[in-house]
């Protein structure tokens, strides 16, 4: 995802009517559904603690039976040391989305439609309207799936990234906000993906436009090994095979010319889920895009959650990330806090869910070091810390 959102890109919140549209569509489809309750679906992917309910199912004629789920939620935010253009407090829709999919047969598909926000540690907030319009639009993920066998499939369209241990949208993860390592990763890409599994091994290979650049020169791959029912280890890598000078809010030019690697371990058993991972990124020297010297980041994170009761879960995340180079050697600013800067964070998120309803709170703290004056937090960009408190509540259906 985008590593640093310039305050120039923070704009006045726009009105967004997709929430009303999502409710209307869902209500209409529910009337024609056969109300059969199927098992929870694999998409959208969710690491917990939130759990999606069984989908609505309806007969779509020649398309066969389709499944529908959705999420409606809002959030409130308080933060100290906002940067110019940001605010101490705000409230907004965090999700107003529906998911329509076909999960059987040779030809399958997944459609995700609606409004969303993607709050991330250490970066300014954007309104939900601006986030939706400036990143991936009102159809952030949509792909066709061709599945000739249960072990092999091909996906074509707007796909979720293979990289990283955190998903894109707030309801999919242990924490409301995404983390510092996620800020170096992409989230949605357009392209084609091949999936294959054999016993405990599963692999994916993807050709795409990387950081949503519409220039198809990125190659991604993942390999996972399931040790047993509780333990999995994964290696993921991706990189730009060419050069891309194009830049937008969703396509930061330095990150869109990088290589990214993750080593991820997942333990999930009983009330526990524990997920440490390592991340390595590197942007090679390229004067054509303003990179005088190769620059990279090295990061580590630990995510964990524990179910206190069937309805209450406590999640936490700790991270550290450092960038290479200095202000005099031609390196570039990858973290947003200055060339050669470092940062660590801690996030705690208690969650309550009862059937469709959920509510959760979050406290996060970011500390930057080796930063450049003017590039961190506060009205003058000179404060190295930022604390936030968030609440999010809504319904999964």
Q: What pLDDT, on a 0 to 100 scale, did the predictor assign at position 43?
A: 86
In angstroms, the Cα distances linking 106 to 23, 103, 111 are 30, 9, 17
Check pLDDT > 60 for residue 11. no
Higher pLDDT, residue 30 or 362 = 362
What domains appear along the chain, each with residue ranges and CATH number? 7-396 (2.40.160.10)
Predicted confidence at residue 40, as pLDDT, reads 61
- How many other CB atoms are there within 10 angstroms of residue 310's CB atom? 9
Confirm if 296 and 281 have CB atoms less than 8 A apart.
yes
d(CA 305, CA 355): 19
The single-letter DSSP state of residue 170 is: G
Q: What local confidence, expressed as pLDDT, does residue 25 receive?
A: 43
| pLDDT of 178 above 80 | yes
Average pLDDT, the chain: 90
CA atoms within 13 A on the CB side of 289: 23
Q: Confidence band (pLDDT; 50, 70, 90) for 117?
A: very high
Quick one: pLDDT at residue 41? 73
- The 10s digit of each residue's pLDDT in 20-54 is 444 444 444 444 334 444 556 778 999 889 998 88
Give the separation between CA 127 and CA 134, rounded to whole angstroms.
10
Query: What was the pLDDT predicted at 262?
Result: 98
- The mean pLDDT of 57-71, rounded to a whole number, is 91
Q: What is the largest CA-CA distance in the chain?
A: 66
What are the backbone angles phi and psi of residue 128, rounded to the nearest 5°?
Answer: -65, -40
Going from the C-alpha of 275 to that of each of 229, 230, 317, 333, 345, the distances in angstroms are 15, 11, 9, 28, 16
What share of the chain has pLDDT > 70, as a percent? Answer: 90
Where residue 166 falls (left for φ over 0; alpha for ψ -120 to 50; beta otherwise) is: beta
Residue 370: pLDDT above 50? yes
pTM: 0.87
Residue listed under structure tokens 């095979």? 241
Per the model's pLDDT, the better-predicted residue between 388 and 245 turns out to be: 388
pLDDT at 19 over 80: no
Question: 63 in helix, strand or coil?
Answer: helix
Instruction: Please tell me what DSSP assigns to residue 129.
Output: H
Average the pLDDT over 76-89 and give the result.
Answer: 96
Statement: residue 9 has pLDDT above 60? no
Q: For residue 1, what pLDDT band results from cuts at 50, 70 and 90?
A: low
Q: Of 320, 228, 327, 324, which is closest to residue 283 (Cα–Cα)?
A: 324
């Amino acid at each position: 995802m985008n590593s640093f959102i310039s305050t120039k890109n923070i704009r006045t919140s726009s009105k967004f009517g997709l929430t009303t549209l999502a409710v209307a569509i869902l209500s209409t489809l529910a009337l024609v559904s056969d109300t059969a309750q199927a098992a929870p679906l694999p998409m959208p992917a969710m690491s917990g603690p939130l759990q999606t309910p069984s989908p609505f199912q309806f007969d779509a004629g020649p398309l066969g039976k389709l499944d529908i789920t959705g999420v409606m939620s809002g959030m409130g935010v308080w933060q100290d040391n906002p940067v110019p253009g940001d605010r101490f407090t705000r409230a907004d829709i965090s999700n107003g989305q529906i998911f329509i999919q076909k999960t059987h047969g040779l030809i399958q598909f997944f459609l995700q439609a609606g409004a969303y926000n993607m709050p991330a540690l250490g970066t300014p907030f954007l309104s939900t309207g601006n986030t939706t319009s400036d990143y991936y639009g009102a159809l952030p993920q949509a792909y066709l799936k061709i599945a000739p066998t249960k072990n092999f499939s091909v996906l074509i369209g707007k796909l979720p990234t293979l990289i990283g241990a955190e998903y894109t949208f707030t309801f999919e993860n242990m924490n409301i906000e995404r983390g510092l390592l996620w800020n170096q990763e992409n989230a949605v890409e357009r392209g084609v993906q091949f999936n294959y599994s054999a016993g405990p091994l599963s692999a994916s290979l993807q050709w795409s436009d990387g950081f949503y650049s519409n220039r198809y020169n990125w190659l991604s791959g993942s390999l996972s090994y399931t040790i047993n029912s509780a333990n999995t280890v994964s290696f993921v890598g991706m990189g730009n095979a060419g050069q891309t000078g194009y830049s937008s809010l969703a396509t930061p030019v330095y990150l869109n010319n990088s290589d990214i690697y993750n080593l991820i371990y997942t333990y999930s058993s009983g009330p526990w889920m524990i997920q440490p991972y390592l991340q390595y990124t590197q942007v090679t020297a390229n004067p054509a895009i303003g990179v005088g010297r190769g620059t990279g980041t090295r990061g580590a994170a630990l995510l964990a959650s524990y179910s206190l009761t069937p309805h209450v879960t406590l999640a936490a995340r700790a991270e550290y990330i450092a960038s290479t180079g200095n202000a005099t050697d031609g390196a570039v600013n990858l973290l947003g806090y200055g060339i050669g800067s470092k940062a660590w964070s801690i996030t705690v998120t208690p969650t309550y869910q009862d059937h469709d309803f959920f509510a959760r709170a979050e406290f996060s703290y970011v500390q930057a070091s080796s930063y450049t004056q003017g590039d961190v937090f506060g009205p003058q960009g000179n404060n190295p810390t930022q604390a936030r408190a968030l609440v999010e509540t809504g319904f999964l259906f």
